[in-house]
A and B are shown apart, each in its own frame.
Chain A
Amino acid sequence: MKKIFLSLLTLLTLQTAFGQSADEIVNKHIEAIGGADNWKKMNSLVMEATMKAQGAEIKLTRTHIHNKAMRMDIAVMGMNGYQILTDKAGWSYMPFQGQTKAEPMTADDIKTSQDQLSILDEFITYKDLGKKLDFIGKEDLEGTECFKLKLTDKDGQEVTFWIDPASYFTLKQSQKIKANGKEMESVTTFSNYKKTEEGIVYPFTVSADWGESEITKLTFNSKIDESLFKPSN
């Protein structure tokens, strides 16, 4: 009798689970991805990934010192390009687009990209960064009813997150970037979550308009040569 009652209760609880607050969702999310303590131990990251397009492979390498600098190297068809972002500057060298030397990012682009310098999950840092958290409600994401949360920074830059109510993983993120007088939207979806040796749970597959990339190697806290964060040409 008690068991049945409890089962009923569970059912009802499931029904009302969506009533929980933004803070509760965020806490469960942080717990699901390994906990803030584990994340906060990370100060650098080197990620190797592969993107496949019609059988062709593009190699991506992200080298990143937390809150200081990041570099993304892209190897396509025997050519190598990169993007560099630091807390003060940024460059882009995309020879596949015809560039012959690194071109500087605009001040607006540097400013609006600063969030990317953090290697931590946004929900671990948002309070410290003074961002506003809004719980928009439930929303269907490709058949999965997700929690929809939005973070807005002091400059009005917005990132919206769709969080799976079963796993509390972020399934999708949409960032509105207002820079250089225009507004752009960048949408990314995440899957293939895996727990690393460091105890953090990371999405090893990331998809965007341009394709899907899969992480082949992820290293935290290795020593990084800071000369990488200056353009080499």
Chain B
Amino acid sequence: MKRNLSILLIMLTTSLFAQTQVNSGMFGMLEARQMGPGTMSGRITSIVGVMSDPKIIYVGTAGGGVWKSSNAGTSYKSIFDKYCQSIGAIGISPQKPATVYVGTGESNMRNSVSIGNGMYKTTDGGDNWKAIGLDSTEHIAKIIVHPSNDQIVYVAVPGPLWSDSKHRGLYKTSNGGETWEKILYHDEKTGCAELLMDPKNPNILFASMWQFRRQPFSFNSGGEGSGMYKSTDGGLTWKEISNGLPPKPFGRIAMALAPSDSRKMWAIVESKNTGLYISDDGGESWKNQSATMNVCARPFYFSTFEVDPKDPKRVYRPGYEFAYSDDGGYSFSGASSDGGWVHSDMHALWIHPDNTNILYLGTDGGIYKSIDKGISWSFTHSLPVGQFYHVSHDLQKPYNVYGGLQDNGSWKAPSAAPGGINNAHWQRVGGGDGFWTVPDIDGKTVYVEYQGGNMSRVNMTNMKSEEIQPKQTNKEEKLRWNWNTPIVTGAANPKNLYTGSQYLYKSTNQGRDWTRISGDLTTNNKAKQQQDESGGLSADNTSAENHCTIFTIAESPLDANTIWVGTDDGNLQVTTDAGQSWKNISTNYAVSGIPAGTWISSIEPSHFDKNTLYVTFENHMYGDHTTYLGKSTDMGKTWTRIQHTEFTGFAHKICEDPINKNLLFLGTEMGLFATLDGGTHWFRMKNNIPEYALVRDIKIHPTTHDLIVGTHGRGIFIVDDISAMRNLTAEIWNQEVYLFPTPQITLNNGLYGWGGPEVSGGWYAGNPSSVPSIDYYLKDRVNTGKVSIDIYDANQVLIQSIPGSKRKGINKVYWNLRSNPPKVAGGSTKIDGAGFTAPMVLPGSYTVKLRVKDQEYVSTIQCVHDDANNDLSLADRKLVYNKAMQLQGLYNHLNVDIDTIQYYKTKLKADSNNKANKAMLADLEKIRAELMATKQTSLFADEEKLREKVSQLYGSFCNMEAKPNEIQLKAIEALDEQYKQLNLKLNQTLNKHLPKINL
């Protein structure tokens, strides 16, 4: 018994340690750069402002969490980074506006819609959040908080899109979310899609129920469950409203009432004859009003209708386009194009309650603001919520990133640029819904596509594009192209270009010619190919439901003849002879517990072993959100399912590090995960990446070692240089402190110059560091004692001491490759720049001493001359350095003189009435006024004396990356001469006065 307990204790301890050994906190300093951009944004699902303080606005997004503006939209801040990023609805308590409820899971039920995990609540305006249930609802459409009781909340829940569920209907809590009561429910196929409350009588509620369902290959909106309901007792009892409405069945119903006259109501009722209906009697009876295209378009997707808070005649229909009416919805006009195009596909509108000219509009491409009642709009450039499907990169220096976004085309941007990356660096390279955007190895060609496999080859030198999609030939069935059709280049032979319908095609001449290298690789299930019938009451067939198609293509990096193909209907196929023969291995993975028929979302053939591959499987379209990740080491014959308790969300992408085979990254609908031990232990990446980011694609750059992450809702993230993750082994992480070797440093001022000030108003992503970091590992955070990095030259002279960070895990410190700057004498009237700089060190070996408390850890850095700089030879570098040091010496002498004067001035002032003292003070001040600027009275009145001249020239030499010219060299001599004269003058003055002075 005693022994058993001991074993239990050891097991417990071991498992505790095992779980805490490697975690996200260890890599927090590898902070991702959020590339954005804000140039194109993403789908906005909810905009709600604080009625009593309308400059405070909360914005919910399709995949980018919640953003808050405290300044009427001038800037936004992300406030939901630790939680589910798909937002369905936001409700603010009118009584206590710091209490905000957020419903996760967007309800614009398109094929690519994400899912939520319930309701969240904050009571401090978004600083802290708490999950408060309804966690199986998946989609939430509307939240209304009782006007005088922040504990009473109504939540409209359409519920799951892809499966039957009891977790639908209208919910109410009376205790702030501690418990929930379902107060309106129809069946497992019908949810609640709309909710209104009479502002004058909070007991009067209206709700619309919606029957809907998606399958991977079809969509249906409408059914007997759909209907309109009214309650007059706070939701206790409900009656169905039908008087004046069209014959059932209904689809989705959007509703609105006039806040200034709540008897007036509007409803867009999806039916066989979808139209706008109005009521003048609080919803008791309805009459058909109008049926413009924009009112009726895609009712499942456009479910927003708003009324001016003060004027019941002024109504708004943000839908496919923006439309407004001044006659209560009888006729509509569209927004002006002055100020530019307003992104189509609108889902949210918030109207300022006091100044109703001010409107905020949420579209598939971000937020717009109007100050003229929606006639003209200005775009908000600072919301980086773009929804990427895929990312890629080229091999240029700096490399470019490429990617395609939901409803926002395909784009390209450099990973670094002078001044740092901002919106202006992004270039559009393709239109439509963008997906794969892949550069060719030739450096000037990019392959882009839009939905349904419409692909082009773009010449980046003139942006001309040629359509290259393979077409159906006589003996073939109709080609089936996935909405998100793969077009990829080979990992072993980058000149190979692949794409796939149900067949795989290969091109070796940039898509000019294609060879079909397979038969139908899908299940070719005809029952899943009835897309013409899709939509339900309103036809909707936009290629989003195409099925039995190829979804994933991967050429082995070790063998161009080995190609893996995954389909959206569960087939995993491989050829080892470049397509002459194919083997379907889909029955093999099912043995490991992965369901048959899933989407094969990504395939990663190993960089180290031809027989090894990783595959992600994705089954959410059958209502299954499990994270499926499989590994095979025998060409797919047998499979191991990789599982971990940390995983959340269905899996989109597995990525193997090309250098360390034990380092893997997994991207899911709810997070980015990493393992350092080949897949046994995983942790969630949190380093400036939202913890539940919708991670669609992951790449590792082969030369910069950057991790590039494409998210569906927060744009692109780059973790610059993940070497520290590669290098952190168990041997290291068990040490208290470990100083990593620093790679050789090439001496230059970075790749770029200044580049101008940061651009105002957009999204700014910055640049990677211009110098490599000095990395060290701390097993625990250091709370007592100091951490510092000291740099010594070859003579073991301390040249700079840098404060070290003290966090648990990997720490990074940046040495500016310079020694300490010179000291500046007192009495200045303006900042003297010389005090901030020193010349860049010369090539050689430098010692790094990491001091943690009283321990010292030592390594060496090799600094080398930058041979790539043709403007500066090694001899020039030495000349520049020596001249800078000469100037620093001159500067130091000058400051000694100034300090000497200051010293005597202080002494003399003690008896300033003394005549001799007065005389000496006056003479010293004259010299001081020649040595340095002393009279400057304003920031805008420059005064330049000897010190300012020396400082300016010293600064030039310190930052010089070219051979100095003769005039610059002569200028040093001139300053030196001026100094000598002043120094002589000072000594003469001292000699003259001191004998007469009694100090």
Chain A residues in the interface with B (C-beta under 8 A): 1, 4-5, 7-8, 11, 52-56, 75-80, 95-98, 100, 136-137, 140, 142-144, 148, 150, 158, 160, 164, 167, 169, 171, 176, 182-183, 191-194, 205, 207, 212, 214
Contact = CB atoms under 8 A, between A and B. Distances in A.
Nearest to A98: B939
Given A78-B825, A95-B829, A193-B784, A136 B128 contact: yes
A142 B124 contact: no
Contact of B809 (A79, A143, A176): A143
B786 interface: yes
A140 B824 CA distance: 42
A55 to B, nearest CB: 4
Nearest to B853: A192
A11 B23 contact: no
A136 B28 CA distance: 22
B114 to A, nearest CB: 24
B868 to A, nearest CB: 25
A39 to B, nearest CB: 19
Contacts of B819: 55
A214 B786 contact: yes
A80 B591 CA distance: 75
A142 B836 contact: no
B836 A56 contact: yes
A50 B414 CA distance: 39
A1 B5 contact: yes
Contacts of A148: 128
Nearest to A152: B124
18 contacts: A1-B5, A4-B6, A8-B5, A11-B16, A54-B837, A77-B824, A77-B828, A77-B836, A79-B829, A79-B830, A80-B826, A98-B939, A137-B128, A144-B807, A150-B124, A150-B127, A150-B128, A192-B783
Contacts of B23: 143
Give chain B's interface residue range (CB within 8 Å of chain A).
Answer: 35 or more
Nearest to A203: B783
A182 to B, nearest CB: 8
A142 B828 contact: no
Given A55-B800, A98-B939, A142-B808, A77 B835 contact: yes
B25 A191 contact: no
Contacts of A53: 836
B28 A142 contact: yes
B26 interface: yes
Interface in B939-994: 939-940
Contact of A54 (B808, B832, B836): B836
Nearest to A195: B784
Interface in B824-861: 824-832, 835-838
B5 A98 contact: no
What is the predominant secondary structure among interface residues of chain A facing chain B?
Answer: strand
Nearest to B809: A143
Given A96-B831, A140-B686, 8 more contacts: A11-B13, A55-B819, A97-B939, A142-B25, A143-B28, A144-B25, A192-B784, A212-B803
Enumerate the 8 nearest inter-chain pairs by beta-carbon distance, A residue then B residue, closest first. A143-B25, A98-B939, A143-B808, A78-B828, A55-B820, A78-B824, A142-B807, A77-B835
Contacts of A142: 25, 28, 781, 807-809
Contact of A144 (B781, B826, B828): B781
A1 to B, nearest CB: 6
Contacts of B8: 8
Residue with the greatest number of chain B CB neighbours at <10 A, chosen from A96, A143, A164? A143
Contacts of A164: 781, 783
Contacts of B127: 150, 158, 160, 176
Given A4-B2, A98-B938, A78 B807 contact: no
Interface string B1-30: 110011011001100100000011110100
Contacts of B808: 142-144
A93 to B, nearest CB: 13
Interface of B: 1-2, 5-6, 8-9, 12-13, 16, 23-26, 28, 70-71, 124, 127-128, 686, 780-787, 800-803, 806-809, 816, 818-821, 824-832, 835-838, 937-940
A67 B359 CA distance: 47
Contact of A5 (B5, B783, B800, B820): B5
Contact of A78 (B25, B832, B836, B938): B832
A182 B75 CA distance: 12
Contact of A205 (B70, B686, B786): B786
A170 B26 CA distance: 20
Contacts of B9: 4, 7-8, 11
A54 B829 contact: no
Nearest to A164: B783
Contacts of A54: 816, 818, 821, 836-837
A158 B126 CA distance: 13
A20 to B, nearest CB: 19
Nearest to A212: B803
A140 B82 CA distance: 11
A207 B813 CA distance: 14
Interface core residue of B71, B780, B785, B818 (most chain A CB under 10 Å) = B785
A52 B814 CA distance: 13
Nearest to A52: B803
A52 B837 CA distance: 13
B190 to A, nearest CB: 37
A164 B784 CA distance: 12
B818 A55 contact: yes
Nearest to B13: A11
Contacts of B827: 78
Contacts of B783: 164, 167, 169, 171, 191-193
Contacts of B800: 55
Given A55-B800, A171-B783, A4 B829 contact: no
Given A95-B829, A143-B807, A192-B786, A55 B821 contact: yes
